[in-house]
C-alpha cells in the first residue's frame, strides 16, 4: 500500500537529479533573489568602517594617480601596507567610467553575494552529486546571517570568498583532468587571494598539500607544484618587496609572541553558536559550556577521520573522484586556515577577534561538512535516518533564516558604520568642518574624520598596542607631544565619546582619556565628543 507513493517520490527525485537545466535555473533564481535582497538592505549605502575607509581611499587615490596611499594628518601621502591592494584596485578599475569607488563597492557587493551563493550551490552539487543537495548548500549559505552581513560592508570578505572558490574549482579540475592550465589558474587565483587578504596564504598551503598528496607520481607532483607556485607566488613576493622598499616591513607586522586570551576564545564561541542556535534570550550563554565541548569534539573527530582517510588513500594510491577532491579539499582548507589564523594571533597580530569578518571561511567549510553529514544520513536508507537528515536541514535553514531576517531588517533601516545616522548627524564633525583646515587634528576616530569631512588626521596614542598586546613604545612621549601642541594652539584634539570612554570597563581606555584629557582646554563640548584646543588668534589666522 505504501510503495506507490514512495515509488512516485523516488521518480520525482530522479527526474530532479537528472535535470541540469532545472539545477541552473534554480541557482539563477536564488542568485537573483540574493542580489535583490542585498540591493534592498544596502539602499542607504554600503557599510563603512575603519578598514573600509582605507580601501575606498586607496581606490580613489589610484584613480587620481597618487598610487595606493592614504594621507597623514599633515596631508602627506603614506603608502598603504597593512591592507593588500586587490580590492581597492578592483574598485578603481570598476570605477573608471567615472563612478565613485564608494558606490561601486555597493554594486560589487550585490554581485558578490549573488555569485558566491551560486558557486556554493555548484560546489555542493560537485561534492554530493545531487541537484537537491546543491540547492541546499546554496540556500544555507544565502540564509547564513554572518555571510549575508559581511557582504553589506565595503570590505574584502565577499571578494576573498569568490577568489577562494576560484582556487578550489581550478584545483579540482586539475586533479581530475591533469591539465596544467588548471593548476596555473589555481596559482593565479591564489596570488589574487593573497593580494586581497594576507590569510590567502592558507590557500597556497591547501593547494600544495592536495597536489603533493594526490597527484599520481613524484614527477607530476613536482611539476604541478612548480607551475602553481610560478603562477601565484610572484604576485605575493612583489607586493611584499614593495612594502619592504616603501616602509621597511614585508607586511606591516612584527614577529612577537602574544598569547590568545581565554576571553577572546569565548567570544569566538559565542559568535559561532549565535549563528548555529536559535535567537532565544540567553540560550547561547546557557548552552556555551556544552556547545564548546561539542565543537572541539566535532573538529577533533573530523580531523582524525580525515587524516585516517588521507593516509589510506595515499597508501592505496587512489584516484580521487571530483566529489572526494572537494570534500577533502574543504577539510584541508578548514584546518589550514584555522592554523594560519592561530599562528597569526600568536606571533604576528594580536588584534583580530573570532568574528564573522575573520571566521567566514571556517563557517563556509563547516557548511560543507554539514552538507556531507546530511547526505550521509540520507543515503543510509532507513526512513528514520532520512527523517533526521530532513530535520537537520530544515532546522539549520529556519535558524539561519531567523537571524538573517532580523539582521536584514535592522540594516535596511539605515546605513552602517560611518554612514549611520549617528555619524552623518554628528555635532562634533559639524563643528570640526568650521575650524581652520590648516590646523592639524589628533583624534581617536581619524577614519571618520577622513571619510565624512574629507580631512586627514593623526591617530591619538593608546597605552596598549593592539597588534602586539604590549605597552606601546614611546607612549608617554607621544602623549606629551600631543598635549603641548594643543595647549600652544598648534593643533586640535578631537575625542569622540569622551565621557563614555572615561567610564568604560577598559582600564586602557580610562588611562588614555585621563592621560590625554586631564587639565586640557576644552574648545567645544558636544553630545558625541569633545574638541580640545584654544581659540586661534587673529595673528595666528593671518
Section 383-404 average pLDDT: 95
Beta bridge partners, 417, equal 48
Assign 7 a pLDDT band (cuts: 50, 70, 90).
low
Grid-cell match 587639565, residue found: 519
| The pLDDT of residue 467 | 86
- Length, in residues, of the chain: 542
| The pLDDT of residue 541 | 45
| The pLDDT of residue 150 | 98
State what percent of residues in the chain have pLDDT above 70.
96
| The pLDDT of residue 113 | 99
Residue 403 has pLDDT above 90, yes or no: yes
Supply the mean pLDDT for the chain.
94
| The pLDDT of residue 125 | 97
| The pLDDT of residue 1 | 46
Residue 235 has pLDDT above 60, yes or no: yes
Assign 436 a pLDDT band (cuts: 50, 70, 90).
very high
| Residues 22, 238: Cα–Cα separation, whole Å | 45
The tens digit of pLDDT for each residue in 373-382 reads 999 999 987 8
| The pLDDT of residue 177 | 94
| The pLDDT of residue 19 | 75
Section 103-130 average pLDDT: 98
Q: Indicate whether this model's pTM tops 0.85.
A: yes
| The pLDDT of residue 542 | 42
Q: DSSP letter string over 288-314?
A: HHHHHHHHHHHHHHHHHHHHHHHHHHH
| The pLDDT of residue 11 | 67
Long-range contacts of 27-32 (CB under 8 A, 24+ apart): 27/117, 27/118, 27/121, 27/122, 27/134, 27/135, 27/138, 28/118, 30/117, 30/118, 30/121, 30/135, 30/138, 30/139, 30/142, 31/114, 31/115, 31/117, 31/118, 32/114
CB 345 within 8 A of CB 352: yes
| Residues 138, 231: Cα–Cα separation, whole Å | 30
SS3 493: strand
| Phi/psi of residue 155, nearest 5 degrees | -135, 175
Q: Can you read off the three cell numbers belonging to residue 481? A: 607631544
Ranges 13-22, 221-230, 440-449: which has the least confidence: 13-22
Residue 119 has pLDDT above 70, yes or no: yes
Q: At a CB cut-off of 8 Å and minimum separation 6, what does 171 contact?
A: 182, 183, 186, 206, 207, 210, 211, 325, 329
Assign 536 a pLDDT band (cuts: 50, 70, 90).
confident
Assign 333 a pLDDT band (cuts: 50, 70, 90).
very high
Residue 498 has pLDDT above 80, yes or no: yes
| The pLDDT of residue 13 | 64
Section 11-19 average pLDDT: 70
The tens digit of pLDDT for each residue in 273-323 reads 999 998 777 899 999 999 999 999 999 999 999 999 999 999 988 889 999
| Phi/psi of residue 315, nearest 5 degrees | -65, -40
CA 390 to chain centre: 31
Section 385-395 average pLDDT: 95
Total Cβ atoms within 10 A of residue 209? 17
| The pLDDT of residue 485 | 97
Nearest 10 degrees: CA dihedral of 483, 485, 486, 488? Answer: 120
**Considering only CA atoms, which of 127, 124, 126 is closest in space to residue 139?**
124
Ranges 331-335, 348-352, 429-433: which has the least confidence: 348-352
| Residues 150, 38: Cα–Cα separation, whole Å | 11
Total Cβ atoms within 10 A of residue 487? 16
Query: Which one is predicted more confidently, 194 or 539?
Result: 194
**Considering only CA atoms, which of 106, 391, 85, 366 is closest in space to residue 239?**
85
| The pLDDT of residue 5 | 58
| Residues 186, 184: Cα–Cα separation, whole Å | 5
Residue 48 has pLDDT above 70, yes or no: yes
SS3 71: strand
State what percent of residues in the chain have pLDDT above 90.
86
Give the number of C-alpha atoms closer than 13 A to the C-alpha of residue 97, restricted to the C-beta side: 3
* β pairing state of 441-443 and 458-459: parallel
| The pLDDT of residue 4 | 60
Section 462-486 average pLDDT: 94
Amino acid at each position: 500500500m505504501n510503495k506507490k507513493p514512495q515509488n512516485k517520490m523516488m521518480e520525482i527525485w530522479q527526474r530532479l537529479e537528472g535535470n541540469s537545466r532545472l539545477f541552473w535555473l534554480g541557482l539563477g533564481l536564488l542568485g537573483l533573489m540574493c542580489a535583490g535582497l542585498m540591493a534592498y538592505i544596502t539602499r542607504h549605502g554600503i557599510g563603512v568602517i575603519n578598514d573600509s575607509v582605507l580601501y575606498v581611499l586607496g581606490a580613489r587615490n589610484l584613480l587620481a594617480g597618487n598610487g595606493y596611499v592614504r594621507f597623514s594628518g599633515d596631508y602627506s601621502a603614506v603608502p598603504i601596507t597593512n591592507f593588500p591592494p586587490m580590492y581597492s584596485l578592483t574598485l578603481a578599475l570598476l570605477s573608471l567610467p567615472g563612478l565613485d569607488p564608494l558606490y561601486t563597492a555597493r554594486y560589487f557587493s550585490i554581485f558578490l553575494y549573488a555569485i558566491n551563493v551560486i558557486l556554493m550551490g555548484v560546489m555542493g552539487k560537485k561534492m554530493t552529486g545531487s541537484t537537491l543537495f546543491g540547492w541546499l548548500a546554496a540556500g544555507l549559505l544565502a540564509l547564513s546571517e554572518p555571510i549575508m552581513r559581511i557582504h553589506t560592508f565595503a570590505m574584502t570578505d565577499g571578494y576573498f570568498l569568490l577568489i577562494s572558490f576560484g582556487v578550489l574549482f581550478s584545483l579540482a579540475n586539475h586533479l581530475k583532468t591533469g591539465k596544467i592550465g588548471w593548476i596555473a589558474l589555481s596559482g593565479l587565483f591564489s596570488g589574487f587571494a593573497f593580494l586581497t587578504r594576507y590569510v590567502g596564504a592558507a590557500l597556497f598551503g591547501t593547494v600544495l598539500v592536495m597536489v603533493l598528496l594526490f597527484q599520481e607520481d613524484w614527477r607530476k607532483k613536482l611539476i604541478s607544484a612548480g607551475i602553481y607556485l610560478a603562477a601565484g607566488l610572484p604576485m605575493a613576493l612583489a607586493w611584499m618587496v614593495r612594502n619592504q622598499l616603501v616602509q621597511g616591513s614585508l607586511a606591516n607586522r612584527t614577529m612577537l609572541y602574544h598569547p590568545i586570551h581565554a576571553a577572546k576564545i569565548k567570544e569566538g564561541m559565542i559568535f559561532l553558536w549565535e549563528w548555529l542556535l536559535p535567537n532565544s534570550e540567553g540560550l547561547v550563554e546557557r548552552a556555551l559550556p556544552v556547545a564548546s565541548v561539542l565543537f572541539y569534539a566535532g573538529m577533533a573527530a573530523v580531523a582524525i577521520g580525515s587524516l585516517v582517510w588521507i593516509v589510506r588513500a595515499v597508501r592505496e594510491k587512489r584516484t580521487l573522484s571530483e566529489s572526494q577532491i572537494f570534500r577533502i579539499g574543504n577539510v584541508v582548507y578548514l584546518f589550514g586556515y584555522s592554523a594560519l589564523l592561530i599562528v597569526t594571533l600568536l606571533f604576528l597580530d594580536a588584534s583580530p577577534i573570532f568574528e564573522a569578518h575573520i571566521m567566514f571561511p571556517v563557517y563556509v567549510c563547516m557548511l560543507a561538512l554539514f552538507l556531507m553529514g546530511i547526505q550521509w544520513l540520507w543515503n543510509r536508507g532507513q526512513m528514520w535516518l532520512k527523517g533526521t537528515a530532513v530535520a537537520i536541514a530544515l532546522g539549520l535553514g529556519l535558524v539561519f533564516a531567523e537571524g538573517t531576517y532580523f539582521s536584514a531588517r535592522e540594516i535596511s533601516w539605515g546605513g552602517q558604520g560611518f554612514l549611520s545616522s549617528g555619524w552623518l548627524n554628528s555635532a562634533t564633525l559639524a563643528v570640526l568642518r568650521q575650524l581652520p583646515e590648516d590646523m592639524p587634528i589628533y583624534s581617536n576616530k581619524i577614519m571618520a574624520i577622513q571619510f565624512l569631512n574629507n580631512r586627514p588626521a593623526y591617530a591619538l596614542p593608546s597605552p596598549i598596542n593592539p597588534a602586539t598586546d604590549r605597552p606601546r613604545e614611546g607612549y608617554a612621549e607621544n602623549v606629551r607631544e600631543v598635549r603641548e601642541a594643543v595647549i600652544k594652539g598648534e593643533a586640535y584634539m578631537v575625542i569622540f565619546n569622551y565621557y563614555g570612554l572615561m567610564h568604560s570597563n577598559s582600564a586602557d581606555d580610562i588611562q588614555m582619556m585621563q592621560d590625554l584629557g586631564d587639565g586640557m582646554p576644552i574648545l567645544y563640548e558636544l553630545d558625541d565628543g569633545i574638541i580640545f584646543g584654544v581659540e586661534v588668534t587673529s595673528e595666528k589666522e593671518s
